Chain A
């Protein structure tokens, strides 16, 4: 059988782990605003105390057929399929930046619908496949 000492250690450690779990949960919960790497357009829309002209990141999908390019700048729409934000950016976009794919823009909100980015990152999703498979999938979808 377990000795008294061992029992008290189990009880102590159990209480410690329980307490630590609760504490960590609340710390992470209260830091949520800082931990999230970007906000989706819906989150921006719902945010009550939004800060304009301050560095912030937004992310979502690049809307199909929304990219307008000229020589130095690019404009496109970030969507989460509910809300949309127009992004304008001058500079090079990453290779993987394309319509229908994930994107994160760092910059400043001018208003809830308009965003001026000074950095664009491509976000990769969890799907990995050879290009033949992706083409076959596209075909069967159309």
Chain B
């Protein structure tokens, strides 16, 4: 399975896989949206604004997960100089960046009717903005540093340092008093979300993960092609 991500294998990635993933994604998101918007009940306090959660929580999960991958890939790249690791991380960054933005925007839309305010600088919200900034720094390094080796090194350092922010985001709601509520889904205890709301949440998460996978595969293929072309050019 993992071998398929090696640079030579990804080039043989055909459009059939992408289009079947696309079909799967559309189906899953469609079911998820119908469940989230029509079947699942309104919350006992928040009413219908609970439905924002079905986009907000998956987006946040993916934003954190992508950066987790980028951080680990950065460390592996710094130690073992595995170039395709950084190409993978580079391809994953825009997805995570967009989803962290989605998380912030949807959270803000939810905050106004629930908390009574669009935005506060509590620990969770602030650390999420820092994550977005790390994403931007990571992406802009690749964009504006022309020398590959240099960009590779700087972005890997950014990815490694950014890794520290992830536990801060995750545990910010437990370590400090925040306006943001603590996690409803934890590894140690039963979820505090009723199952009629948990099901659409999981379906939406699945759909958005498939979406991220599609974007990632397409980008990664392009990055590997670009990388090989550049190397050919330089060897001439």
Contacts and interface: CB of A to CB of B under 8 A. Distances in A.
What is the interface residue range for chain A against chain B? 35 or more
Contact of A126 (B42, B50, B164, B184): B184
Interface of A: 6, 9-10, 13, 17, 20-21, 24, 28, 32, 35-40, 59, 93-98, 101, 104, 119-135
A124 B117 CA distance: 12
A10 B78 CA distance: 9
Interface in B197-213: 197
Interface of B: 41-46, 50, 53, 75, 78-80, 113-117, 120-123, 160-161, 164, 168, 175-179, 181-184, 192-194, 196-197
B117 A121 contact: yes
A128 B53 contact: yes
Nearest to B126: A35
B44 to A, nearest CB: 4
Contacts of B114: 94, 96, 122, 124
A128 B79 contact: no
14 contacts: A37-B122, A37-B176, A93-B116, A94-B114, A96-B114, A121-B116, A122-B114, A122-B116, A123-B115, A126-B181, A128-B184, A129-B44, A130-B197, A131-B41
B123 A6 contact: no
A5 B182 CA distance: 44
Contacts of A94: 114-116
A10 B75 CA distance: 9
Nearest to A21: B164
Contact of B176 (A10, A17, A35, A128): A35
